[in-house]
Structure 1
Amino acid sequence: MKKTFYSNGKLLITGEYVVLDGAKALALPTKFGQNLIVEDAENDAFEWKSYDADGSIWYEDTILFKSVINNEQFDNSKSIKNTLIEILHEAYLTNSDFITKSKGYKIATELTFPKFWGLGTSSTLINNIAQWLKIDAFRLLRNSFGGSGYDLACAQNDTAIIYQLVAEKPTVKNISFHPIFSDQLFFVYLNKKQSSKAAISSYYNKQPKIGKTIEIIDAITEILLNTTDPKEFAKAIIKHEVEMSQVLEQQTVQESLFTDFNGVIKSLGAWGGDFVLTISKDNPTEYFKSKGYPVVIPYNDMIL
C-alpha cells in the first residue's frame, strides 16, 4: 500500500543563530515543501530515490536494513547515504517495528523547490519520516541532524509562528503575519546553499555572552510582528543585521554584496547563502539579475 506524507519548507525571518539560545524567532512556512512516498518491497532494504523539483533524480541508492540497525557508516563519498542511515537508525531506536515487521520499502522523496534553495530539504524529510513512523520529529532531529527545530515547526504548521526554546524544549505559537506592504517584500537566492551544521558550529565558536543580544532580537521580532509602516520594518531589520554582524564578526550581506541597493536586505538563516529578504519601494528583480542573482520571488509567491 502506498502512503504519502508532506511537509512545508521554511524561512527564518528573525533570530537566526540566537534561536539556539532561547531567542524568540519569527519563522514562516513556505508554499514549497517535500513529499515522502512509501511503498512495500521485498528485499530487507530501502530502495531510495530522491527527486528534485524538475523531476530529475538527484539521489538514488539501496540502504540495507542491517546497515540501519547497526548505524553503518560509509566513506565520505557516501555522505548522503550516511546521513539517511543516521536518521533512520535514530528512528529505529524509537520505533523498531518499521524494520522488524517489514520485508522492505520503496521510498521516493519529491521536492517542490530546487534542492539547492535551502528551504528545508533535511527538515521536511525528518518531519515526513516522523509522520510516517508516528514518532516525535523534534526528538528525531535532536538525535540525528541537530539544530533548533524551528524548521520542523514550519514543516508542521500552515501559519507564521513564533518559535522559542524554553529550557531547551520547543515552544510554538501560531500567529497571523500578513504585512500590508508585502508587495514591497521579495526573497532573493544568493546562488549558494549553506550548511546549517557548519553555520551552527561557527556560531558556537564565536558566541559571546548572548543575553543582551537575545533581548535586542526579541524586541525586533515584536516590531516586525506589529508594525504597519514599511520604514519601521526596514529600520528594524537593519538593526537586526547590525546586531548579528557584531555577534558573528561578519559583514552584513548588504555591506559585502549590495552596497548600491536602494532598499534594505536581511540575511535569513545561515549567513552567506540561501535566501535573503529585501524591502524596497520598487520591484528589485532587474537589479538583482544585473548582479547575477536571477531568482527573485515575491513574498506572496513564497509564503503560505
Structure 2
Amino acid sequence: MQIIDDTEPAPPVRRQSTIEVHPLTVHIGAELRNVSLAEASRDGELFAELKALLLRYKVLFLRDQDITRAEHVALAERFGPLEDHPVAGSDPDHPGLVRIYKDLDSPAEHYENAYHCDATWREAPPMGCVLRCVETPEVGGDTIWVNMAEAYRRLPDDVKARIAGLRARHSIEASFGANMPLDLRLALHERFPDAEHPVVRTHPETGEQVLFVNAFTTHLTNFHTPERVRFGFDYTPGGSELLNYLIRQAAIPEYQVRWRWTKNSFAIWDNRSTQHYAVQDYWPAVRKMERAGVIGDKTF
C-alpha cells in the first residue's frame, strides 16, 4: 500500500540569537556581548548575524575572545579570501594574518596615526578586516573609526555637486615607500602601480554613497577640465585644497567612535565605508595586534 504524505514539511529550527548589541555612538560602532567568535568561525548562521550587524554598525567590537589564530583566520575567511601585505610581516603559519607589532624599534614607515582606509593603493581595496589585540599598553593605543558614508551625507550640497564624477589616485609609493631607498621604492611602485578610485564610492552591499579619499590619496586625476579651471590657480592649489578639505572630513568627531583595547579584544570593520586612526601615544610601551584583511572588490 502506498502512503502519500501531503502535509507541509516542518520549518527548520533556527537558533535563538543571544547576541547583546550595545551601540557606542549615534552613527558608528557597536560592542557585542554574549557571543563567541570561535563559534562564529564554525557556525554559518551565527556568522550571518555578525555580518548583518557589521553592515548596520560598520565596526563591531568584542572583548575577552581567547581564540586560536586558526579560528581568527577561519572567521575572517568567512567574509572572503585573505590578502597579504607587501610591507608588514605575516604569521608564518597563518598566511594573511598580518602582525602589527609596535615598539621603539618599529620602522618609521609603519606609522598608522593618519586617517586611512586600508590599502586603497590596491585596485581592489580590502572588503574589511578582523583585528585582534595581543598586547596593549596599560593606557593609550586606542583606535578611532569613522563613518565615511555619514561624512558624505553631511557634505554641503554645493560640495557634492563639485565632486560628482571626480576620481583620485592612491599610492603605496608615497606612503609606505617614502622612507625606502630609491631602488626599493621604485620596485614597490612597479609591483603596485597607483590605483584610481572614485572620490565618492557606492557601497556594493548597502548602496550607500561613501566619501572615499584618505591618507593614501595623492591627487584628483580628472579635475583639470574647462568647467573647473579658468586659470592655473584653479587647478593648483585649487584641486589640492578641495582634496584636503575632503580628507579632513574624517577628523570630525560626530562621525567617529573610539575604542580602548584590552588583551583579546577584537574589532571587525567594513573597510569600504570607514576609515580608522591608530593613536600612537603609548611609547615606550609595546602594542601588538594581528589583523586578517579580506580581499575586496573594484570600486565603482
- The interval holding the TM-score normalised by the smaller chain is under 0.3
Q: Normalising to structure 1: TM-score of the pair?
A: 0.26
Q: Normalising to structure 2: TM-score of the pair?
A: 0.26
The structure with the larger Rg is 2
| Higher relative contact order (CA closer than 8 Å, sequence separation 6+) | 2
